[in-house]
Amino acid sequence: MVRPLGFAAGVGTAEPRDVALAQPATTRRSRARLWGVLLLVGWLAQAGLRAWLSRKQVVPLAMPDESAYLIAARVLAGGVAANFSYSTLYPAGYPLLITPVFWFTHNPVTAYHAVLMINAPISAAVMPLAYVACRRLSLSRPEAYGVAMVAALLPAGLFYAEYAITDAIYPVLVLAWLLAVHSWLTAASPRGRYAAAIGSALLAGYADAVHARGLVIVAGYMMVGVLIAWRRLAPRGTVLAGALALALPLGVTSVLNGKVASAMYPSGARSLGGEAVIRLHSVRGVLLISDQAAGQMWRFVLDGWGVAGIGFVAAVAYLLRRGGRIDLKIMAALSVAITLAIAVLAPAGLPPDTGQTWASGRYLDCMVVAFFLSGAAFLLRADRRRILVYAACVVPPTLVAGVAVEAYAGASVPTSGFGGGFSFAEPAVLTQGWTRASLPLATAVGLLLLAVWVAVVLAADRWARGGRAVVLAGLGAVSLIAVLQMTSHISQANTPAQEASTTGLVTGSGLKPGEHLAVGQGPSSQVYWGTWMPQAYEIPWAQLEFFDPATEPPPANATVVEVAWPAGQAAQASWPRAPRGWRIVASDPAAGWVAWRRLAHRAEREPGRGRGEDRA
């Protein structure tokens, strides 16, 4: 058994477990079965919602992440690779999870749908995990169930399940790891301590295999292990068992990453860590990282509808408070440290000319969900004065962070295309600006929502005992409306154009298995990487070829050539040096490409066919 956990710092009275133990054993077992069924129903409902929201997805949209993960999974399944040299190396942890899909099908649309169906139940597991966390936060079963269902509706824990990216599973992974670490500190039996130490080690190792943020998780795990060994908070043998268990996923990850790197990055990959280290060697670089971290914490508050901010303040307050349980102190310190470390380190390796992505909400989505739980528990159980004080503490740093973001991203950001909408989805929801989102307005609305939750909770005390739970209805409604809008404006709105640029190229050019696509990549003219990367996934039978259409002939085995469409010119101007026997078969003015196909040899030999006719 595990003692309850609570960053809410004394928000409860009698622990729910104490009340349960006062009931007859038969009643306890029947109630446990009932709640087990309710958890199963809640998990299925959440999985079904995720599957329904992604039902119209047929092509990867989030570039280059989705294509890189999907092709890496194809490589691990023994399929064809693609050349992603000089771009970021995407770890093999998530591709390993979806690799079985490519054992059974190489159809890109079928495989993509199957991957999203894998995402759905895993992402929905945040609901039962959140329930366990809330029980440890001293909430009653009905309260814990309500908070868990609402937390599973947060865009931070739901929206990314619509894409083949690590963020689909990362909130679940991190929450499971936090619960396992706490069990390591509090499990009643030595066997439970060993199981928790090994389980948390495996989860930390897999978190590292899934995304670079996992390095922070591994570092946090090691720090907890050192503290446990030093203070004898658990049998020291559990530390050794955890260390051995951690070595397993780290070793497997190293091997798999090496395989992916050799297949997909033959000329090397861009080092995010190297760029971050370079920035730390100058004052300007340190200030740049500080600005990035401010953007991350700004989104942390906004994306959690203000509730995650209250949870963060409650954790800090518990750390500063004298006394208190050591396991709670450790978990509070661990959660706060991981949040700040991710905020500082995750965007530090991003290119210096991508200021708007510094305030993307993806990096801290895992901690938004975790602190939303503690913030919701705090609102349900804390006294009125503490709620007002902690909410007030959220406002100044959020305003300062908002000003910092405005300084480097501008007073408003574009949200009309996929990239802008994907990076600034929650600000677009807060401002209802699906063309441009005002950052000051997003900050104001986010803090206004926080004030609304506080006002509802304080007013509910006058209605009836337990009336504070009504705030969950508001939080759930806001989250569900937000996810529906994000799906409509971002995922579904951008699918037709992406489909035309990927499957449209294959069908329009008549490209078939056994035929090869060559992509123009030269100094003077090159196809945009966001165009050819999803096409590399769409063509599972052959690796893309690259050549300079201005100075080189197409590869000898090329059947179709894709070149950039010069702005303001005719399609024929896209390849002035096209050899005899090539003609335009497809084009996409919006995506900016033109496809040329090699004519059959007998057509090339027909008399009277001139060069101009071949290219008509």
pLDDT, one tens digit per residue, over 319-330 is 999 888 899 999
| CA 563/CA 547 separation, integer angstroms | 10
- Please give the pLDDT value at position 353: 58
CA distance 583 to 571: 11
Q: Name the DSSP letter for residue 412.
A: E
In angstroms, the CA 414 to CA 390 distance is 33
Give the per-residue pLDDT at 512. 93
Query: Which tokens belong to 415?
Result: 């949200």
pLDDT at 300: 97
pTM equals 0.92
And the tokens for 139?
């909430």
Report how far residue 156's alpha carbon sits from residue 167's, in angstroms, rounded to the nearest whole number: 8
- What's the confidence (pLDDT) of residue 515? 93
Query: How far apart are alpha carbons 582 and 600 in whole angstroms?
Result: 9
Residue ranges of the chain with per-residue pLDDT less than 70 = 1-23, 272-280, 349-358, 464-466, 601-616
Nearest to 156 by CA among 417, 363, 432: 363
The confidence score (pLDDT) of residue 616 equals: 31
CA-closest candidate to residue 177, choices 119, 142, 147, 132 = 132
Given a contact cutoff of 8 angstroms between Cβ atoms, the answer to whether 546 and 508 are in contact is no
What does the chain come to in residues? 616
pLDDT at 243: 96
Q: Where are the domains of the chain?
A: 57-493, 510-614
What is the rounded CA–CA span in Å between residue 210 and residue 195?
Answer: 22
C-alpha closest to that of 490 among 543, 414, 556, 549: 414
> So what's the pLDDT on residue 395?
97
Cβ-based neighbour number of residue 605 at 10 Å: 10
Distance between CA atoms of residues 559 and 363, nearest Å:
41
pLDDT at residue 593 in the model? 94
Cα separation, 350 vs 81, in Å, equals 25
pLDDT in tens, 59-70: 999 999 999 999
Which two three-digit tokens encode residue 377? 């528990």
| pLDDT score at 352 | 61
Considering only CA atoms, give the Rg of the chain.
27
Which pLDDT value is given to residue 283? 72
Kindly state the tokens that stand for 213: 């943020």
pLDDT of 276 reads 67
- Cα(589)–Cα(539) distance, integer angstroms: 21
Angstrom distances, CA of residue 369 to CA of 56, 157, 374 = 26, 7, 9
Q: How far, in Å, CA of 47 to CA of 29, rounded?
A: 27
Measure CA of the first residue to CA of the last residue in the chain; give whole Å.
76
